Amino acid sequence: MKYSTIGERIRALREALGLSQREFGERIGRTLRGVQNYEYNKTSPDEATLILISRTFGVSLEWLKTGKGEMMLKKEEVIPTELVAVSIITSAGAGGLVFTPDHVLIERSRLKHGKVYGFKVRGDSMHPTVQDGEIVLVEENAELEDGAVVLVACGEENGLKVRRLRHIANEWWLFADNPSYAPEKLEGCKIVGRAVGVYKPAEVREI
């Protein structure tokens, strides 16, 4: 049977695997609504998600994208991987960290650090080190030093942002890598953790 859209192919794959929409979503770090939106063609999965589906279930990436060829990869074509679910931080309050319903799955071999969380960067304050929309991997309780990139919660609302830590004249300062943003004192901010990498579909780039 020919499936004309990516959404139809995702549904066909899920049904062939005998998974519910919720179970399928849990395997790739997506919500039930997210999977439904894919299948009903309300949203289209990006390249990273298609790669993730391919690696998680051993399905042909070419088939997912175009419908050409066989759905499942041959046994010798499947690359076995152990995936780790990395939760995405959305805020940090007095009660601790708050996470989004979604997470990203990363191959364990690509993680060189201990327990890490993800944080989706907004804006260009850390350009060119981190781009708008990229996910920074943050390690709690990591050793901090001058020049480290950190995730901090600042102000009464504990707004999260990524900055570079600098020790100047016996004081700690937070610098954006983009010189258009003014530095600010660490005083009044809480360090959530040290940024140890940037998540990409095909790599974890250290910073």
In this predicted model, what pLDDT tens digit does every residue of 124-171 receive, in sequence order? 999 999 999 889 999 887 788 999 999 999 876 668 999 999 999 999
Question: What's residue 3's pLDDT?
Answer: 85
Overall CATH class of domain 6-77: mainly alpha
- Higher pLDDT residue, 180 or 97? 180
Question: What's residue 203's pLDDT?
Answer: 54
Query: What pLDDT band is residue 30 in, cutting at 50, 70 and 90?
Result: confident
Query: What pLDDT band is residue 89 in, cutting at 50, 70 and 90?
Result: confident
Question: What's residue 75's pLDDT?
Answer: 66
> Across residues 86-114, what is the average pLDDT?
72
Please give the CATH architecture assigned to the domain spanning 83-205: Ribbon (2.10)
Burial class (CB in 10 A: 0-12, 13-18, 19+), 160: buried
Query: d(Cα 112, Cα 160) in Å, to the nearest integer?
Result: 24
Query: What pLDDT band is residue 21 in, cutting at 50, 70 and 90?
Result: very high
Instruction: Identify the H or E element spanning 65.
Output: helix 61-66
User: Where do the domains of the chain lie?
Assistant: 6-77, 83-205
From 103, 107, 129, select the one nearest 118 (Cα to Cα): 103
> Across residues 172-181, what is the average pLDDT?
95
Question: What's residue 29's pLDDT?
Answer: 79
141: alpha, beta or left? (left if phi > 0; alpha if psi -120 to 50): left
Query: d(Cα 39, Cα 7) in Å, to the nearest integer?
Result: 4
From 88, 149, 92, 141, select the one nearest 119 (Cα to Cα): 88
In this predicted model, what pLDDT tens digit does every residue of 43-80 receive, in sequence order? 999 887 888 888 888 889 899 999 998 888 876 555 55
